[in-house]
Structure 1
Amino acid sequence: MLPNLSALQTTGAGANDGTPALSSAATGTTPPVTGVDYQAHLLREGWVVIPTSLKSDAEKLQQMRDAFDQHFRESPELLDPRPEDPTWKNILGGFAALGNPSSFHHPFVRAMREMCEAAVLDHDALPLNGRRLEQCFDRMMRRIPGESTDVESWHRDEALNTQPGDDIFGGWINLDNESQFFSCAPGTHNEPGARDRNAGFARIASPEEKAHYQAIAGAHGPVEIPPGHIMIFYERLVHEVLKVTATRIMRRLFLGWRATSAREPLFGQQQMDAWIQSQAPPKIKSGQRPAIYPTAYYNFPRNFQRLTDFSVSVFVPACLYPHAVRSGAQAGTNWTRVERNMKGLADYNLPLHPAYDEHERKILFPSRRVQLRTFDDPNGPRVAFRLASVAEWETYAAAPVATMDAYGNSGRLFRPGPERVE
């Protein structure tokens, strides 16, 4: 049983919000067409926002936030979690993306990954073009009132280890009851050479380029992600992180997908298996290791006491270590700390969350057939999905140009996409 999710069942996706109900797994049919071609928008603009059945059901969304908070109480590495307390936090730094093991491996976040993927497939939002789909690990975020993000100027989130022909997508689901926003320069994922770079986090350094992208973004305005919606963007889309101060506890789950012809996951099967088995914080798609605190807490003596106070109050003793300062004004002193990049629950000899089942594991590997939990019925049976094959896509791609619209799309009814199957 998933924590606190039993009340999230409805009679169909979009219950009480006017959205047509999705088909059940037993029918073997795809969801009804809504008239919105999310995939065409993503291809053209580089971003898209899709609804889930959480979108206008305040009670259901609150239950999801309650389950989000409950996962902290069931995280064995945390000493005295108080997720309802707007002053408590288990991460340092304004961005507030979590880096502790349970934030990646607790049953709640594993179920969320499945339900978000089911929503994305139901809306045929990703241009898979016959390729396999791999969901990439990413982080949960909990930002407390008064905290503000660090500014990240214009950049692209390029992934490491991609293969020729891969596309990587980022995004998040907004679990707040207020809108969240994303600042980007639409269409820049299609710039010449944008798909050829795989350098990880790629900052835009040129003042001329910054001004160019600022003008594009200014003409467009920020992207609004309403409550219960998922935003998806091409990782090579130029975007920025603005300094925004939280006025409430903010909650989101960052998401990532890789469309690929490869069979191995982004960081290889051996590494993926190691993360899953030890329930360790994985690398995110950019190659970065999730951190508990910025390097400023580690490097500057003025932050040493605060880091120690934070570490001993938030994490159980098994996760702490004595840090000996070897140089500078504090040379010879010792400070108790949690590691900046934590190990797995198994490495700390802490209780593990239930082992991954075959379906939870499969979505983390390139696949064309998956079985997923849905927001319709989180604790019910999984729904089986089949992605279009290469042959199906090639047949579609060979259709006469005359049947295509202004953007080169044959239309949602004709494009082979994900299907719910028995």
Structure 2
Amino acid sequence: MGPSRRRNERLRALLGEARWTQAALARTVNALAAEIDVELHYDRTAVAHWLSGTRPAPPVPDLIAEAFTRRLGRAVPPAATGLAADPGGAWGDRLRGFRMPVGARLSELCSLESDPARRAGARLLPYREAELVQSTRSAMTGPQTAGGAEEGPGVVRLAVQFFSASFDAHGGQGARSSLAAYLTDDIAPLLREPGDRTPGRGLLVEASRLTFLLARMHQDAAVHGLAQQHFTTALQLADASGDTTARAVVLRGLSAQGLALGHRKNALRAAEVAAASPGASGGPARAFLLSQLAVAQAACGWHRSARVSLTRAETALAAGAGDGTGPFATYAPGSLEFQRSQVLRYTGDLPAARTALANSLARRPAADHRGMALSHAQLGEILVGLGHVEEACASWNSFLDYFAVLRSATADQAALRMRQLLTPFRNVPAAHAVLRRIRTSTPPDGRP
């Protein structure tokens, strides 16, 4: 093949349309890789190689396509970049899954966990900002009348409680494969029964809740692209059930994920649509939705609105204990206090955020190891920001107590931030001891 045929004119045309330099594209691809916990260090020379005909390994073509999609405001598939070696291969199959019936989609996604070859590729799926926008729009255009669901099968409700408790106790990297197998082997077949039989609304709600939990597990493992796919599937299941509260809960999860990845404006829109759901007019579910709205508003600089939303969340939580038991019918006061601390950090009121985190720790269930760990970690960050290094070290020591029993990329990232913040104080005895402890302690899965 001659040099003229090797040149990637598709990529060159996209660079021109985006008005990007080669260095700008490289920086954007590195940033998108960081969203899915992949470390890349491309510069302009790498882009020059792509333009000359070199094809990078997956997931880089998908990351490049996502970069142009965000920049140009239109869908740019990997094939359009001239970098996808097999447009009809595994990555294309994942995208075509959007058009599957929801039962088949659930089975397809969950079965990835038991297939090492496909799982490795799926975990590198990019996070797609446009999908957050589309999910929000679909929730806006769906039925807006409040609809409650019939009670789901008892064994499935028990599974929801079990996997929720496992997530709180051990983090998202623990029982994720077990939950995926349960959804594949026990739940998906019930959603694809032949004939005229359709799944009961209660089963659809519980399936949505289990899929939502699996999405949160992938998110906690920093597998954000695949987490987004599970959130979207959970939203489809909630839509099929007609339960508007179930749909709002999933949209709230999508908002939290988008906000954590820096997509503030679209995360706020998702939180607004979730909080406007007619199905959650009061009680814990309402507080759950409003607390995320408050955090998203604060992140976008809407501080007064955030305070109003927090007050409304408090009122809703105080109004009643909800209509049942279990993780989706209750909302812990300690969790609301954690959200308050997030709002206060965005507004710059660190002393008040410190108080809120202390309240959160005092009101969290003892079995919520993940919540306790992350609360202690954030309290340490606030304390060191206020100049209270020794108090911060005490909080980080408590964080490390819980960290040892967790398998959570979110906790791993908190440990990394702790090291970075404490290193300038390494000559302070308390800081030296904490840094030494994190270096010498190795959790069961081999994390440093």
TM-score by length of 1: 0.29
Query: Quick check: which one's helix share is greater?
Result: 2
TM-score by length of 2: 0.28
- Asked which structure has the greater RCO (Cα within 8 Å, sep 6+), the reply is 1
Query: Quick check: which one's strand share is greater?
Result: 1
